[in-house]
Amino acid sequence: MGAVQDAGKFEFNPKDGIDNPALTLAEDTDAEGVGEPRFYFLSKDSTETFGFCLHEELSCQGHIIRQIELGGVAQRRGLQDGDRLLQVNGHFVDHLDHMRVVQRIKASGNQVLLAVLDGDSYEAAKSLGRDLSQMLPADIHPRLCHVTRDKSGFGFTVSGPEGTKGTFQLSVRQDGPADRAGVPAGSWLLELNGDSVKSYSHTQLTRKLKQSGNKVTLLVASSAVEEFYRLRGLRVTAALADPAWLPFKARELHLVKGPVGYGFLLKEDDCISGGIGQFLWEVDEGLPAEQAGMKDGDRVLAVNGESIEGLDHEQTVHRIRAHEEWVTLLVIDPAGDEFYHSIGLSPLQFFEDSDPASGSCTPSLSGSPGPCHVEVAPKGPASWLMAAANSIELVQSSRQQEQKRLCQSF
């Protein structure tokens, strides 16, 4: 990897990471003119964007960084026009469909770790037949482990330098709860139940563990992973976690309509986060919805590969009805919904199994639908834009009788 070059004194805030235009990763190149990937941790407020657009262009290969806003987050971190995006939160994305890459970034929320390669190096590597994934570290993922206490405890002990805050190493009992949850022996504790332990004393951490009840969620990193981020001045966050160890995952349901429909009711109601969501109820026994694995109380995250975040009930119905005979839903059950809310992450962030439905445009990376920024011919129909909804029935929510909610049978 390129070395960090010191370009003068600056203030380092571990909460925000490096935010100094003069401090960048060196563009070392080899004899064939191929530079090293660069890593950037971007953090924004919920009211702003990351300050760049991601293009797919007919004349160039890869996912291309364009339209970097002057003074925006991306420019302050050091992203450059023409950079090619290789990784999002430690996941290689060069081979993925463009819309899927955009959705990965959007699902990451207000923080994302990007690995990029400058345009000339990318083109040179491609022409030489290089495997770009081999230019990146093999495993830079921390683990997010959900540990349930047994009669003897959580199955780990914590140690750290006396008088030092925020430095905690874990000793793990073999075959104990922590070991079974995937906590590696000797790993470093970074977060407890979604909160950073950087400012905790040993006494404070012990108190927090006691207050956690029978379950705790730990963000941990091996010494090698911790060192990788520390040497680059980058934060390790739960968004970077290896999804293999997560206790709850979104489920993808493929439904083919039967003679009497799909057999479920879509109902708008309150989410655990305080917002509004679309929930699945009245799943009919023996009909396609139940056969696909749908459960009462599941919350819809995406329809036909497209996130429904920010959509209202009628817009979600439009998407479900985009195709006459089939629909694919990504859902999370109530326990999983509560888990991700407790750690401040979206379950969409860790879903990897399917490509999104093809479309003709890519939204700007602002967390909500925006203008298209794609210079490529349309890949397929966007029929959901034209789908007409049937009548929507207003019903009373059982949780808030005074507030009306929407539902629709399918």
Q: Which of 87-96, 144-153, 254-263, 398-407 has the lowest mean pLDDT?
A: 398-407
pLDDT at 388: 21
pLDDT at 307: 86
DSSP-H helix ranges across 128-265? 177-180, 202-211, 223-231
Mean per-residue pLDDT, 251-278: 92
Cα 8 to Cα 408: distance, rounded to the nearest angstrom: 61
Residue 216 pLDDT > 70 = yes
pLDDT at 410: 56
Neighbours of 335 (CB within 10 A): 10
Cα 293 to Cα 251: distance, rounded to the nearest angstrom: 9
pLDDT at 150: 93
pLDDT band for position 78 (cuts 50, 70, 90): very high
pLDDT at 382: 26
Total-model pTM: 0.70
For residues 262 and 160, the answer to whether their CB atoms sit within 8 Å is no
Q: Which helix H or strand E contains 27, and what residues bound it?
A: none
Q: Which helix H or strand E contains 75, and what residues bound it?
A: helix 73-77
pLDDT band for position 257 (cuts 50, 70, 90): very high
Please provide the average confidence, as pLDDT, over all residues in the chain: 79
pLDDT at 107: 81
> Which residues in 222-336 belong to E strands, given as ranges?
251-256, 265-270, 276-281, 299-303, 306-307, 326-332
Cα 218 to Cα 179: distance, rounded to the nearest angstrom: 12
How far CA 334 is from CA of 27, 195, 231, 295, in Å, comes to 47, 22, 39, 10
The residue among 70 and 365 whose pLDDT is bigger is: 70
Domains, the chain:
38-135 (2.30.42.10), 143-240 (2.30.42.10), 251-350 (2.30.42.10)
Cα 85 to Cα 155: distance, rounded to the nearest angstrom: 40
Which amino acid, residue 82? G
For residues 35 and 28, the answer to whether their CB atoms sit within 8 Å is yes
pLDDT at 111: 87
Facing residues of 64 across strands? 55, 84
Mean per-residue pLDDT, 94-111: 87
Instruction: Read off the pLDDT of residues 7-31 as tens digits, 9 standing for 90 and up.
Output: 333 333 444 444 433 333 434 555 4
Give percent above pLDDT 70 in the chain: 78
The residue among 99 and 218 whose pLDDT is bigger is: 218
pLDDT at 32: 62
The residue among 198 and 388 whose pLDDT is bigger is: 198
Give percent above pLDDT 90 in the chain: 54
Cα 331 to Cα 338: distance, rounded to the nearest angstrom: 13
pLDDT at 114: 95
DSSP-H helix ranges across 245-328? 288-291, 313-320
Instruction: Read off the pLDDT of residues 311-356 as tens digits, 9 standing for 90 and up.
Output: 899 999 999 999 989 999 999 999 999 988 888 888 888 876 543 3
- Three-class SS state of 121: helix
Mean per-residue pLDDT, 103-125: 90
pLDDT at 346: 85
Mean per-residue pLDDT, 383-392: 22
pLDDT band for position 402 (cuts 50, 70, 90): very low
3-state secondary structure 85-97: EEEECCEECCCCC
The tokens describing 237, both together, are 């966050």
